[in-house]
Amino acid sequence: MNEQTAVKEAAPAQTRLPDAQTVTEVQHYTDRLFRFRVTRPQSLRFRSGEFVMIGLMGDPDPKTGRQKPLLRAYSIASPSWDEELEFYSIKVPDGPLTSKLQNIKVGDEIILRPKPVGTLVHDALLPGKRLWFFSTGTGIAPFASLIREPQTYEDYDEIILTHTCRDVAELKYGADLVESIKQDELLQELIGDGLNKLRYYPTTTREESPRMGRITELLKDGTVFSDLGIDGISKETDRAMVCGSIGLNNDLKEILEGYGLSEGANSEPAEYVVEKAFVG
Ligand code: A2P
């Protein structure tokens, strides 16, 4: 799903937003990235890692005055136990939705269709020992949910979150999150020492930082493994979830298949799963 293939549904003009939720927090990171939190519908149940359709009303039709909801798929970045919902978004200057969405303020309403779906869920993977979360850009969103999910730490001995961005400022959302969850009292209570299993591996491609390069290249030349002190990726022990651009997803699929891992789905769990970072 992208800006061009968005779902549009007819709705009468002048009505209250359908499936309205209220914005409770907004934080801008760069001129390309921001995060926001909204109220959660009481009836909404989801599995950490899933996405929902969210959006705003589009501009009135010049002829009829009617407005249609403008919806896009967004991964829920908060865990399933959180009382609010969090989203992490790109700002596309001429994007029909994100050019408006980037202006939301606390107290504003957004539309949220309460039908969560997705493949980046624990159910789509066979049991394993080490879980990799490979992300680029806003593709970190589903993993922001999963690294706050107790099951992640119950099911695996080691969790490695890789995040590749163009520059250091774009890493801030993930860096702050990893730092904050290690200090979070509620998470300590839920997950306990398990949080120590989480390893964070940020890289940049267009600005100097302690670790530079695309994650795909760093896997191919073995840098990731020597940095983390592990032997490599194996079908027996390693499981992976991938979320980023189409290019990243395809390149990583090839790399993971090269290690003997095969792609899973809700209906047929296997060793890795992939989902596109939707808007951007
Ligand atoms: P690069 O700077 O070399 O293009 P974007 O902001 O465009 O969504 O990209 C986010 C990050 O993903 C960038 O660091 C970008 O690196 C990286 N990236 C893009 N395509 C791939 C790919 N096919 N494999 C690995 N990393 C990629």
Can you give 130-157 as a three-state secondary structure string? EEEEEEEHHHHHHHHHHCCCHHHHHHCC
pLDDT (0 to 100) of residue 236 = 97
Ligand 1 centroid to residue 124 C-alpha, Å: 26
Q: Is 139 in the pocket of ligand 1 (CB under 6 A)?
A: no
Task: Specify the CATH number for 3-116; select among 2.60.40.10, 2.40.30.10, 3.40.1260.10, 3.30.70.3270.
Answer: 2.40.30.10
Helices (H), the chain: 98-101, 141-146, 150-155, 172-183, 185-191, 215-220, 223-228, 246-258
- List the pLDDT tens digit at each of the 280 positions of the chain: 444 444 445 444 445 677 999 999 999 999 999 999 999 998 999 999 999 999 999 888 899 999 889 999 999 999 999 999 999 999 998 999 999 999 999 999 999 999 999 999 999 999 999 999 999 999 999 999 999 999 999 999 999 999 999 999 999 999 999 999 888 888 888 788 888 899 999 999 999 999 999 999 999 999 999 999 999 999 999 999 999 999 999 999 999 999 999 999 999 999 999 998 876 4
Tokens representing 66 are: 């009617």
Please say whether the beta carbons of 140 and 215 come within 8 A: no
The reply to whether 122-274 shares the fold of 3-116 is no
**Which residues are within 8 A (CB) of 97 and not within 5 positions of it... i.e. 6 or more apart?**
3, 6, 55, 56, 70, 71, 72, 279
Q: Is 206 in the pocket of ligand 1 (CB under 6 A)?
A: yes
Q: Is 248 in the pocket of ligand 1 (CB under 6 A)?
A: yes
Pocket test for ligand 1, best of 166, 170, 218, 254 (most atoms within 8 A of CB): 166
pLDDT (0 to 100) of residue 2 = 46
Please say whether the beta carbons of 36 and 105 come within 8 A: no
Topology annotation, domain 122-274: Rossmann fold (3.40.50)
Pocket test for ligand 1, best of 164, 217, 250, 279 (most atoms within 8 A of CB): 164
pLDDT (0 to 100) of residue 186 = 82
pTM beyond cutoff 0.85 = yes
Q: Is 205 in the pocket of ligand 1 (CB under 6 A)?
A: yes
Q: Can you name the residues that pair with 197 across neighbouring β-strands?
A: none
Closest CA to 166 of 140, 137, 142: 137
| Domain limits, the chain | 3-116, 122-274
**Which residues are within 8 A (CB) of 104 and not within 5 positions of it... i.e. 6 or more apart?**
23, 26, 36, 56, 110
